[in-house]
Chain A
């Protein structure tokens, strides 16, 4: 879980920097496949890898770690919340247009509660 979240942050930071996987991987001295696996969370990232990537992308190390830690925690809490998992399950079965409607409905409900 933690690698997947860090991987997503790497992808986000790479895209923000306007770099392709090929470009970033060659700067880091990795193969493109290795970087792709890091971004997908399939490969285990060591702290040294994350530090190197953070340096190359001009981000503080904690940009990748803190967010990932929060997401892991959120993911774990989510796993414990049956209501949310049921909502997620049903949502995934709906077409994109319907999902958008539901999102708008949730936002409307949230506004009303304020």
Chain B
């Protein structure tokens, strides 16, 4: 009934992701992290595109890799070991393509999914959050008013990954704010639509290489055929998309924790005090033992959530559990890694402080951990 072996195909994809992470991401991670101002780099995007990793979960018939969720999380973990910021850019695409793949009609999928696939792939973005509608998505104020064959969008979205870079956005807006959940709709909006502009780019403590910012919609005309699903189904679409994206986030958390753990382990074996490696002190080795245990536990939660999705089962609770546990685990593991490296860990000469800054974001975005607890509690 239970097996933890990956198939040959999954092992192959794991190796692809690992090689990509080590050769195409890791060497650039430190530089992009320290770049002042906008650190986003199109060069990295073209590397992702060449490996078709921007279309990781896009079905093959539209040009993507079409991997199932378990394979996607195995790959996300490997990518997470290299740089959470850089893969944040790709993850912005995965969110939008997950949404489009599950609710788009054939025309929408045919027109937009291929834009995220292959060598010339572009970026996409999911635009849900607003300044007054973070956790409470029913409070979205961006409006979509029907006018003939168009919807007219007005409003401002904040904290949008790939803001100002995306070829298209999936935008959540309300057609009737009084209806709250019942008035929400999701639209595909072209990145170059007149009236759509980039506001400020957020200056973050971590995930520096990922561009996150404000997107402003000022009388943006969206063709009526670009509405996703039927009218007023936006709430369902948002909930389902986020449920299905959380395992990849959990896996990336496992990846960054693994990177911090491996750095700390190597350091503890090499660093000598009182004439012997510090790992020979239980105070250090027990910390490493705890880190290894928690990483393993997180991976299993993540795999289970992904497995449920692949089986077509409801993964809501499992997805929230893997998101909470993995993100908090990553923060703890990164913090311990800094502790093990001592004064070196607190410098910018070692990567662990960056892992720590990046990991902190995981407990906040794609539904704060407090919201995840509300979801779990409501399902007990």
User: B-contacting residues of A (Cβ < 8 Å)?
Assistant: 1-4, 41-44, 46-48, 50-51, 61-62, 65-66, 68-70, 72-73, 75-76, 78-80
Contact = CB atoms under 8 A, between A and B. Distances in A.
A44 B232 contact: no
B236 A79 contact: no
A73 B316 contact: no
B276 to A, nearest CB: 51
A46 B379 contact: no
B182 interface: yes
Nearest to B229: A47
Contact of A66 (B181, B229, B309, B313): B181
A21 B137 CA distance: 34
A79 B314 contact: no
A80 B233 contact: no
Contacts of B240: 2, 44, 46-47
B278 interface: no
* Listed residue (A1, A42, A48, A70) with the most chain B CB atoms within 10 angstroms of its CB: A1
A41 B308 CA distance: 13
Contacts of B230: 47, 51, 61
A1 B319 CA distance: 12
Nearest to B308: A44
Interface of B: 102-103, 138, 181-182, 229-230, 232-233, 235-237, 239-240, 309, 312-316, 374-375, 377-380
B347 to A, nearest CB: 42
A65 B103 CA distance: 15
B234 to A, nearest CB: 10
B236 A47 contact: yes
B236 A65 contact: yes
Q: Is the interface of A mostly helix, strand, loop or mixed?
A: helix
Contacts of A78: 378
Contacts of A76: 374-375, 377-378
A65 B232 contact: yes
B379 A1 contact: yes
Nearest to A48: B103
Given A46-B102, A46-B103, A78-B378, A73 B313 contact: no
17 contacts: A1-B316, A1-B379, A2-B239, A2-B240, A44-B240, A47-B103, A47-B229, A47-B230, A47-B233, A47-B236, A47-B240, A61-B232, A66-B232, A73-B138, A73-B181, A76-B375, A76-B377
Contacts, number: 76
**Most chain A CB neighbours (cut-off 10 Å) among B232, B236, B380:** B236
A42 B379 CA distance: 12
Contact of A44 (B229, B235, B315, B380): B315
Given A47-B103, A47-B236, A65-B232, A79 B313 contact: no
B60 to A, nearest CB: 19
B316 A62 contact: no
Nearest to B244: A44
B329 to A, nearest CB: 23
B28 to A, nearest CB: 37
Nearest to B181: A69
A3 B316 contact: yes
B314 A42 contact: yes
A75 B317 CA distance: 14
Given A44-B312, A47-B102, 5 more contacts: A2-B316, A47-B237, A61-B233, A65-B235, A80-B374
Contacts of B237: 47
A72 B137 CA distance: 13
A2 B233 CA distance: 13
A8 to B, nearest CB: 13
A84 B181 CA distance: 24
B334 to A, nearest CB: 30
Query: Which of A2, A43, A51, A65 has most B Cβ within 10 Å?
Result: A65
A69 B235 contact: yes
Nearest to A62: B232
A53 B239 CA distance: 20
A69 B234 CA distance: 11
A61 B379 CA distance: 24
A43 B232 contact: no
A3 B233 contact: no
Nearest to B103: A47
- Give me the 6 closest cross-chain CB pairs, A-B, nearest first: A69-B181, A79-B377, A75-B378, A79-B378, A66-B182, A47-B229
Contact of B309 (A3, A44, A80): A44
A49 to B, nearest CB: 10
